[in-house]
Amino acid sequence: MNQDDTWRLAELGQRAAELVHQLRQPLFTIRGFVQLAEKDPAAAAEHLSAARAQLDVLESLVNGWAELSRAPGATDVFFDARAPVEGAAVVLRHRAQSLGVHFDVASGRGWLVRGSPQALQQAVVNLGQNALDAIRGRDAASLTIRVEEELIVVEDNGPGLAPEVEARLFQPFLTTRAEGTGLGLSVARAMAARCGLSLELERARPGVRWVLRAG
């Protein structure tokens, strides 16, 4: 096995660990809604509808990862940057509501991106999930995602990043949470790069502002 093969296997291992992490939350939520439906037959339809929405989240996650595992260029298309952001909002909105976080998406002027829309959607989801983990339980917590010309901004009003964390942002397996994998940012950057976008930390504190930038 050569060095390229070794790095490829390591990358696949990281991605598999991150996928497990991403799938855990909607699976947990689905179980909760099914249990509620069993306990309260009168409201079963409402609970099952919510569980079905989480199945859509699972499908989106699996499709995004399947697309990313393909060779770059194999399925590249031109797409409006707003479309994957709107898809990410569907994935993030329910969790934000369940955590009591104000969630706002502003789709301004889009632009054409070439690459994988599923990969870009998952990059935004990863950034949003990280933000929700950071601000959960805080008073007046908010998460905002904006699409501007050649920019996608993901911003929260949480405590921000500690200097020691900021210095090692994209190091795989770096996490401040016991249940975290520490892969969200490194994978988000790889997914953004698949679409010709850079991932930049524009502000670390107070709050965190990430920018996905064209070119």
Domain CATH for 165 = 3.30.565.10
Q: Is the pLDDT of residue 90 over 90?
A: no
Burial of 145 (0-12, 13-18, 19+ CB in 10 A): buried
The winner for highest mean pLDDT among 18-32, 96-110, 140-154, 156-170 is: 140-154
Q: Is 206 helix (H, G, I), strand (E, B) or coil?
A: coil
**Helix axes 117-135 and 82-98, enclosed angle (nearest 10):** 30
* Tally of structural domains, the chain: 1
* pLDDT per position as a tens digit, 170-190: 765 455 554 444 456 877 888
Strand partners, 110: none
The pTM score is 0.74
Q: What is the mean pLDDT of residues 36-55?
A: 88
Return the higher-pLDDT residue of 17 and 26.
26
Strand ranges, E, within the chain: 77-80, 102-107, 112-115, 142-148, 151-156, 197-203, 209-214
Structural domain of 101:
3-214
Q: Are 126 and 185 in contact (CB under 8 A)?
A: yes
